[in-house]
Amino acid sequence: MARIMKGFASELYEMKEVRTRLEEEMIERLKKSHIDVQKLIIMERKEKRKEIHLMGRTRMGRCVTAREIAVMLGQVMGKRLKPAKQTKSVLGRDLEVMVFIEDTPYKTLTGVARAIKDGEEVSGDNFSFLSLDDGEEVLLLSDGMGAGDAADRESCLLIELLEHFLEAGFDKEAAIRMINSTYVLQSDSSSFSTIDLGSIDLYTGEAEFLKLGGAASFIKRKNSVECISAETLPAGMFEEIELVRQKAVLSDGDYIVMVTDGIMDCFEGDNKEEQVAFLLEETTSVNPREIASYVLNGALEMSKNKNMDDMTVLVAGLWEKA
C-alpha cells in the first residue's frame, strides 16, 4: 500500500510552473479581444506538455467561448489547444478560472456489442469508456463470476471503483492493485471478477493492456491482427497478484478489441484466439460498432445461437485528426 501511495504522490506533483514571455504575449492577445486577465500561468507536465491556467473576465459586456480563447492562446504558443473538461464553455463578466491543454493529434470512436446468457435478465459483464484529462482513452471491462444479478453487482462495483480511481489521477496499475486488496479483505471470499483494461494515449498512439483474469484482447491493423493474451487469476483471489501489462504502438486506422470469455467459449479447440482473429481479419467495416457486432454474431453462429454465458465485445478505433 505504501508503494501505491508513493506512486500516486509522484503523479500529483509532476507539474511545474514555466515562466516565459509567452505569458505576456498571451495576455496582450486576449486584451485585444476585450478579455481582462488577472492571472495567467503556463504549467509544464512531466511529459513536457503545456497547460495554461487563466483567471479573467470579459469587458464591455462581451461573452467569449472557451474554444475561441483556446484558438487565441494556441496562435501565440504555436500549438493547437483545447479547453480542459472542467472549464466552463463561455467566459463572461464574472471572474472565472479556465484551463487549456494541448490538443491531441489523435481521436477515437468506440463501439460495443452484448448478449445476455440464456435464462438471465441482466448481464454479469460490465464496461465503461473513459476520457481522462491526460489525453488517455480507457476501456474497462469486467466479467463477474457466474451470471445474473450477483455477477452484475460485483462487476458493476469493480468498474465504478476503477472509474473513481482513474479520474482521481491514480496510476492504472496502482488502481487495480488497490481494488484487488479491497476484494481480498472482504469477508465473502467467493466474490471474484476479472479486470480487463485497455488504454490509448491520444498524444502518442501508444496502447496499453492490463489484465487480471481477463480474456484475450486484439489489435486489428490494416493487414494483420495481433493477440494480447494472459493467463492470470481474477481480482480478489490473492493479495499478491500477477498483473500482466503489455504495450503496443497503434497507427492511424488501427483498432483495439476486448472481449469477455463468453465470446471465447463459443469457439471449439485450442486455437480460439486464432478464430476470433480470423473474424477480425474478415470484416471490412471501419465502424467500431459494426466490428463489435460482427465478432458477436460470429461467436453466436459458432455456438448455434446458444448463449451459454454473457458476451461483450468492446472496440475502439484510432484516427488522426484532420
- Amino acid identity of residue 163, one-letter, is E
Q: Where are the domains of the chain?
A: 17-102, 106-320
Sequential pLDDT tens for the chain (322 residues): 445 444 544 444 455 555 578 999 999 999 999 999 999 999 887 677 889 999 999 998 899 999 999 999 999 999 999 999 889 999 999 999 999 999 999 999 999 999 999 999 999 999 999 999 889 999 999 998 878 898 899 899 999 999 999 999 899 999 988 888 776 555 455 567 888 999 999 999 999 999 988 899 999 999 999 999 866 555 444 456 677 889 999 999 999 999 999 999 999 988 999 999 999 999 999 999 999 999 999 999 999 888 889 999 999 999 999 8
Evaluate the CA torsion angle 21, 25, 28, 30 in order and state its sign. negative
Phi, psi of 96 (to 5 degrees): -135, 155
Q: Specify the DSSP element, H or E, that contains 198.
A: strand 195-201
Distance CA 177, CA 292 (A): 29
CA angle 164, 126, 241 (to 5 degrees): 65
- 106-320 fold: Phosphatase 2c; domain 1 (3.60.40)
Q: Cα separations (Å) of 321 from 80, 103, 199, 318? A: 11, 10, 18, 10
- Amino acid identity of residue 20, one-letter, is T
Residue 2: all three cell numbers together: 505504501
Contact 1, 170 (CB under 8 A): no
Distance CA 261, CA 218 (A): 13
Phi, psi of 75 (to 5 degrees): -65, -40
